């Protein structure tokens, strides 16, 4: 990973590319790389869909190596959804393949004048950029089917569906899984709209003839990787719960805790939650001939995903994640896993974020377009996105836009981005992260649900404000660093609970680069990333008033605990004081 | 007295999802856990939707929810 590919999509006479040495960005991966390039090179006041914005795609610093769990790819830009800096990462095969091709980043710059649609092919022999208007208006599944016929079986694909072409604010970038399904998405913040604005429909990455990246100290690296994998396997979350039930194991937990946002954040408990729980989902998948344990990329030892079939045993979609099951399920009063799986497929196919889309449907229900619990109606609404009708375009721009258009007050967003499956009143730690994250409401940015609810990585009362600011701060710092390695964030459960597993990761990174790494180095990296992101957002016009929850979370108590969000504004302003 | 016990994830295997149980006054969460012979360590305990620990004494009508250590997100 010693080079950066820069593609000027707006060059005179058609897109031009150049390959540069990694230079000042050497050693950076994932979020550290995307944030460094965006914060230094993109004008913070630019229009996110204009030529001045850049789309940066970066594999993690350990991607493409033999390190387990290192398959996350980061995409960064100025977000059309939030107006601030964005890093959205996904699993799938792209990170490993791009890293083996030797690129620390791909930077898409400029914007073509016409309406031609392009694809970019990268293999060991170089880069080809070509016009392919036959791909226009293809959703992700038929798009991949068509492209697969033209490329080697080793290729990985990063694509936009119809939502990205329409530049909808919730548009995602799909990454293919090991079976070449477009199921792993950089979902958050509208990165797909930026790719669409640059008229790039597909990036095809083929590592045929290339080997894994070699560590500086292979013996130490192998030993550290072995200890790291042992740590993941022995921890109950990564070794048992996630493989058996997937992320949706959380439905029952959050529902029991009274922190499960139901019917657009009206209550914290959904009476039919059990019907859409991970326990029921896993049993149904196996019964129908699907799979309850599946990895989104090669080298994953947790295997939290699965394959969801319909009642006739036919493939519908990958196992919908907890956040998706919530957004399209309990958040909309829907208790039918088949409806939720269909919605997950539609989201992946059109290429939209499942969270912002589900939240938009919930807001539309609040507005009275369809009643809560109307599964068939929810499917009709999401199909509108694919058709590109005016209603579909509104919904495909997420919950914030939908709320404005339909005059809804209860809109669960921060900085324009929808919240996830945890109510910030009954899980106050996640409220701090939603409010203050540089990314808009983003549960992964500082997953205080661990210590608040799961009693992993600490123990804090979720119904009290005490200690939440410090917890969110520490998690936001650690997460920014993990997001730079290409490591799946789920390694954080064993990392926080088992010091020897954290040490194994440090040893592995150290052995790879041939430079020992300490916990302090990791903290310093996390802080430096957050500092760059905060600085970009400040220059883009954000103030402390943007680090707040919508007022209804302070004014409307949520059952069953009948609590409001109680962390004081002046304490939220201390999150980034370190 | 009567309490409701709910089990989740791996704890359900060979047991039950939810059951109303008759227990003597003074029963603690720990007593219920021991009686059920749950495998591995306990992750999360709720009594009436609030986190509780093993020493918590149960009252008539309580709902006790027991999870192994689980996570996701």
pLDDT in tens, A418-446: 999 999 999 999 999 999 999 999 999 99
Distance from CA of A257 to the nearest CA of B (A): 5
What pLDDT is stored for residue A1 in this prediction? Answer: 86
**pTM of this structure:** 0.97
A450 to chain B: closest CA residue = B71
φ, ψ (nearest 5 deg) of residue A416: 85, -5
Would an 8 Å CB–CB cutoff place A450 in contact with chain B? Answer: yes
Q: Which two tokens stand for residue A99?
A: 């890293």
Give the pLDDT band (50/70/90) at residue A181: very high
Would an 8 Å CB–CB cutoff place A257 in contact with chain B? Answer: yes
Looking at beta carbons, which residues of chain A come within 8 Å of B40?
Answer: 236, 240
Would an 8 Å CB–CB cutoff place B13 in contact with chain A? Answer: no
Q: What is the CA radius of gyration of chain B?
A: 12
Return the CATH class of domain A251-421. Answer: mainly alpha
C-beta atoms surrounding A189 within 10 Å = 36
pLDDT digits (tens, 9 = 90+) for A523-550: 999 999 999 999 999 999 999 999 999 9
What pLDDT is stored for residue A77 in this prediction? Answer: 98
Q: Residue B40 pLDDT > 90, yes or no?
A: no
Would an 8 Å CB–CB cutoff place B38 in contact with chain A? Answer: no
CA distances from A409 to A45, A372, A398, B21 (A): 28, 17, 15, 44
What pLDDT is stored for residue A555 in this prediction? Answer: 98
What pLDDT is stored for residue B28 in this prediction? Answer: 97
Cβ–Cβ of B71/A248 closer than 8 Å? Answer: no
Inter-residue contact A183 to A344 (CB < 8 Å): no
What is the average per-residue pLDDT within A40-59? 98
| Mutation site for B-interface testing, chosen from A249, A421, A459 by largest number of B Cβ within 10 Å | A249
B44 to chain A: closest CA residue = A454
What pLDDT is stored for residue A402 in this prediction? Answer: 98
Q: Which two tokens stand for residue A68?
A: 């387990």
What is the average per-residue pLDDT within A332-349? 98
DSSP state, residue A509: H
Cβ–Cβ of B73/A449 closer than 8 Å? Answer: yes
Among A300, A318, A306, A56, CA closest to A183: A318
CA distance linking residue A9 with residue A196, whole number of Å: 11
Distance from CA of A489 to the nearest CA of B (A): 9
Among A358, A336, A335, CA closest to A346: A358
What pLDDT is stored for residue B39 in this prediction? Answer: 86
What is the average per-residue pLDDT within A440-468? 96
Q: Residue B41 pLDDT > 90, yes or no?
A: no
What is the average per-residue pLDDT within A175-191? 98
pLDDT > 70 in chain A, percent = 100
Interface list for A 474-533 with B (CB within 8 A): 489-490, 493
Paired residues of A417 in beta bridges: A414
Strand (E) or helix (H) holding A493: helix A492-497
Q: What is the CATH number of domain B2-68?
A: 3.10.20.30
Domain locations in chain B? Answer: 2-68
Looking at beta carbons, which residues of chain A come within 8 Å of B17?
Answer: 274
Q: Which two tokens stand for residue A343?
A: 């919605």
User: Mean pLDDT over all residues of chain A?
Assistant: 97
Would an 8 Å CB–CB cutoff place B44 in contact with chain A? Answer: yes
pLDDT digits (tens, 9 = 90+) for A96-148: 999 999 999 999 999 999 999 999 999 999 999 999 999 999 999 999 999 99
Inter-residue contact A34 to A58 (CB < 8 Å): yes
Would an 8 Å CB–CB cutoff place A279 in contact with chain B? Answer: yes
Give CA A101 to chain center in angstroms: 23
Domain locations in chain A? Answer: 3-205, 251-421
What is the average per-residue pLDDT within A290-307? 95
CA distance linking residue A242 with residue A263, whole number of Å: 27
Inter-residue contact A223 to A257 (CB < 8 Å): no
Cβ–Cβ of B44/A240 closer than 8 Å? Answer: no
User: Which ranges of A153-217 would DSSP assign to H, the alpha helix?
Assistant: 162-165, 191-197
Return the CATH class of domain A3-205. Answer: alpha beta
Of A256, A443, A461, the CB nearest to B73: A443
Inter-residue contact A548 to A569 (CB < 8 Å): yes
CA distance linking residue A480 with residue A316, whole number of Å: 34
pLDDT digits (tens, 9 = 90+) for A207-244: 999 999 999 999 999 999 999 999 999 999 999 999 99
Predicted-complex ipTM score:
0.97
């Amino acid at each position: 990973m010693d080079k950066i590919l820069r593609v000027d999509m707006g060059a005179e006479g058609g897109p031009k590319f150049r390959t540069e040495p990694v230079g000042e960005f050497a050693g950076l991966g994932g979020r550290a790389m995307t944030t460094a390039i965006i914060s230094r090179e993109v004008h913070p006041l630019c229009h996110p869909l204009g030529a001045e914005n850049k789309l940066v795609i970066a594999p993690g610093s350990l991607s493409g190596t033999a390190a387990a769990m290192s398959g996350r790819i980061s995409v960064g830009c100025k977000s059309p959804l939030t107006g601030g800096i964005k890093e959205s990462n996904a699993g799938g095969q792209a990170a490993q393949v791009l890293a083996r091709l030797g690129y620390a980043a791909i930077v898409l710059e400029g914007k073509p004048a016409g309406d031609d649609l392009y694809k970019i092919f990268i293999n060991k022999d170089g880069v080809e950029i070509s016009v392919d208007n036959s791909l226009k208006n293809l959703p992700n599944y038929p798009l991949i089917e068509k492209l697969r016929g033209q490329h080697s079986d080793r290729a990985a694909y990063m694509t936009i569906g119809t939502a990205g072409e329409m530049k909808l604010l919730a548009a995602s970038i799909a990454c293919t899984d090991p079976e070449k399904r477009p199921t792993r998405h950089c979902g958050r913040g509208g990165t797909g709209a930026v790719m669409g604005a640059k008229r790039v429909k597909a990036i095809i990455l083929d590592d045929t003839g290339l080997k894994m990246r070699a560590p500086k100290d292979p013996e130490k690296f192998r030993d550290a990787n072995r200890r790291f994998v042992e740590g993941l396997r022995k921890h109950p979350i990564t070794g048992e719960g996630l493989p058996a039930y997937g992320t949706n194991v959380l439905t029952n937990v959050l529902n029991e805790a009274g922190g499960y946002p139901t019917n657009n954040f009206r209550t914290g408990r959904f009476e039919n939650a059990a019907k859409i729980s991970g326990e029921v989902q896993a049993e149904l998948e196996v019964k129908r001939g699907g799979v309850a344990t599946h990895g989104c990329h090669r080298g994953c030892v947790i295997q939290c995903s699965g394959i969801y079939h319909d009642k006739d045993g036919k493939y519908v979609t990958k196992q919908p994640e907890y956040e998706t099951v919530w957004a399209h399920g309990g958040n909309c009063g829907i208790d039918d896993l088949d409806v939720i799986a269909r919605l997950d497929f539609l989201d992946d196919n059109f290429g939209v974020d499942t969270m912002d889309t589900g939240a938009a449907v919930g807001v539309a229900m609040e507005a009275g377009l369809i009643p809560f619990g109307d599964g068939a109606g929810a499917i009709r609404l999401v199909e509108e996105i694919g058709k590109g009708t005016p209603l579909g375009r509104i919904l495909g721009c997420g919950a914030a836009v939908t709320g404005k258009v339909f005059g809804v007050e209860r809109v669960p967003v921060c900085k324009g981005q929808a919240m996830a499956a945890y109510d910030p009143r009954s899980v106050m730690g996640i409220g701090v992260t939603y409010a203050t994250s540089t990314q808009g409401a983003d549960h992964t940015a500082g997953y205080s649900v661990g210590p608040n609810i799961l009693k992993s990585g600490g123990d804090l009362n979720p119904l009290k404000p005490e200690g939440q600011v410090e917890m969110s701060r520490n998690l936001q710092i650690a997460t920014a660093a993990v997001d730079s390695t290409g490591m799946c964030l789920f390694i954080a459960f064993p990392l926080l609970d088992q010091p020897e597993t954290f040490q194994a990761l440090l040893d592995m990174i150290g052995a790879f680069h041939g430079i020992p790494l300490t916990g302090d180095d990791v903290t310093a990296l996390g802080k430096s990333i957050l500092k760059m992101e905060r600085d970009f957002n400040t220059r883009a016009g954000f103030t402390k008033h943007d680090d707040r929850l919508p007022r209804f979370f302070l004014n409307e108590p949520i059952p069953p605990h009948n609590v409001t969000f109680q962390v004081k504004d002046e304490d939220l302003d201390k999150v980034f004081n370190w | 007295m009567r309490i409701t016990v709910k089990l989740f994830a791996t704890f359900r295997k060979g047991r039950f999802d939810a059951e109303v149980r008759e227990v003597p006054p003074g029963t603690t969460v720990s007593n219920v856990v021991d009686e059920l012979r749950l495998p591995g360590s306990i992750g999360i305990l709720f009594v009436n939707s609030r986190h509780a620990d093993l020493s918590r004494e149960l009252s008539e009508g309580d709902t006790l929810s027991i999870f192994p250590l689980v996570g996701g997100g």
